[in-house]
Amino acid sequence: MLHIKPIISSLLRSKSGPVLLLLQIILSVAIVANASFIIHERIALMQRDSGIAEEEILTFSLYNFDDRIDNAQQNKQDQRILAALPNVQAVTSTNMIPLSDSGWSDVYVDSPDKDIAKQTPNFAFYLGNEQMLDTLGVKLIEGRNFSAEEVIYSLTDAGAQAIISLPLAKAFWGDESPVGKTMYAGDSSIKIIGVVEKLHGAWVDTDNFEYSVIQNVDFGGEGKNKSYMLRAKKEHIPELKEAIVKALHQDNPNRVINQIKTIAEYKASSYRHHELMVAVLTLMVVLLLLITSLGLTGMVMFNIQRRTKQIGTRRALGAKKRDIISYFMVENYLICIVGGVLGGLLAIQLGQQLMKIYSLPMLEWQYPALTLAGLFVVTSLAVVVPATRAANISPATATRSA
């Protein structure tokens, strides 16, 4: 099986075909390894647990045209209407929608003295009432929720409280509990009363995606344009989309209700470019492997045609079919090993450039190794058929045809 020296001599006698195939394998390993790494990264991003009951939360925006409307009172009335709809579990006004790629962000500082104040990381800034946690379906792991009496109606009102996400708590306070701490935003002081396990923000590509804060502000009364979130079981969501419009227009027809979507629909839209990238890169990987295997098959078929007499002579001298097959397999493996090693080195260099330019994580060594292993399998399948066909040529036919 291991007639390596004559195989290498044969490859060196006719360099152009093997060299082209070697270059193809080098490029394939480098590109496929990095593409596979990026595909895995994108899929991992899309599969992150947001901490939110994405398919059970229905959101919409509402705009009142009537200048005579008292927005604060209308906000309370609208929430009563929404809460009274069949199968609705919780309702809150909000200033932003999770995973929607649009919203508010802010920072707190830990002292009113600007000279010594330490600033938190930038976080997604949610405003909502005492039903906000139940509406989102987030898990409270420390402290408590707002009570209805503690809800205020403006960011400038006294009595501001906040519930923060655990990643933000760990990023700023480490292992120390943030519950009971007082933070500051401008001239306002905010008391932290609770911590939720997870709550993602609006921008799926930001580094601070897991840093979030909910402040106890019923924001729906601030103006004519409002946003609401309500929660119901998934099977009741379609009927609620119609029921919301009907009930709110029945109370006051002089307003527009739009963007009625679930958080899951917003999430799908926000991750659409990641899905497109995964699809394109997957197609590219498949095509590269296919082209490489076809190239190797073509080279083997060419070699078989060129070496028909040699194959016949070897068979006449007692070589078995498996010897002929192993000859071509070893030839394939030699090219794959050389191309795989050089391709792996190129993949690491390419990964470092992508890391610098696009802030991607460092390419892990497993990806070039797995790519080479996959290439071994694909090229083995590509070689075994023509090699078997060559082995089936009878010595007499082979020597006559030469």
Express each pLDDT in 65-99 by its tens digit.
888 888 899 999 999 999 999 999 999 999 999 99
Mean pLDDT across 128-133? 96
Q: Position 35: which residue type?
A: A
| pLDDT for res 402 | 47
Per DSSP, 222 falls in state S
Mean pLDDT across 104-116? 92
Tell me the pLDDT band of 352, cut-offs 50, 70 and 90. confident
The gap from C-alpha 265 to its chain's centroid, in whole angstroms, comes to 15
Residue 241 has pLDDT above 80, yes or no: yes
Contact indicator for 242, 110 with CB cutoff of 8 Å:
no
Token pair for 283: 């197609």
Tell me the pLDDT band of 361, cut-offs 50, 70 and 90. confident
Instruction: Read off the pTM.
Output: 0.78
Per DSSP, 109 falls in state B
Contact indicator for 340, 369 with CB cutoff of 8 Å:
no
Residue 355 has pLDDT above 90, yes or no: no
276 three-state secondary structure: helix
| pLDDT for res 360 | 72
Mean pLDDT across 49-67? 91
Residue 296 has pLDDT above 80, yes or no: no
Structural domain spans, the chain: 4-48+271-399, 66-253
Write the burial class of residue 191 (CB in 10 Å: 0-12 exposed, 13-18 middle, 19+ buried).
middle
For 166-262, where are the E strands, in sequence order? 182-185, 188-196, 212-215, 225-231, 255-262
Mean pLDDT across 190-205? 95
Residue 399 has pLDDT above 70, yes or no: no
Tell me the pLDDT band of 400, cut-offs 50, 70 and 90. low
| Spatial distance between the Cα atoms of 348 and 358, rounded to a whole number of angstroms | 15
Tell me the pLDDT band of 381, cut-offs 50, 70 and 90. confident
- Would you tell me how many other CB atoms lie within 10 Å of the CB of residue 234? 12
Mean pLDDT across 229-247? 94
pLDDT digits (tens, 9 = 90+) for 249-269: 999 888 899 989 999 999 999
| pLDDT for res 316 | 75
Tell me the pLDDT band of 380, cut-offs 50, 70 and 90. confident
Mean pLDDT across 55-63? 94
Residue 279 has pLDDT above 70, yes or no: yes
Alpha-carbon dihedral angle through residues 119, 125, 126, 127, given to the nearest 10 degrees? 70
Tell me the pLDDT band of 126, cut-offs 50, 70 and 90. very high
Percent of the chain with pLDDT over 70: 97
Residue 226 has pLDDT above 80, yes or no: yes
Percent of the chain with pLDDT over 90: 50
Q: Position 164: which residue type?
A: I
The mean pLDDT of the chain is: 88
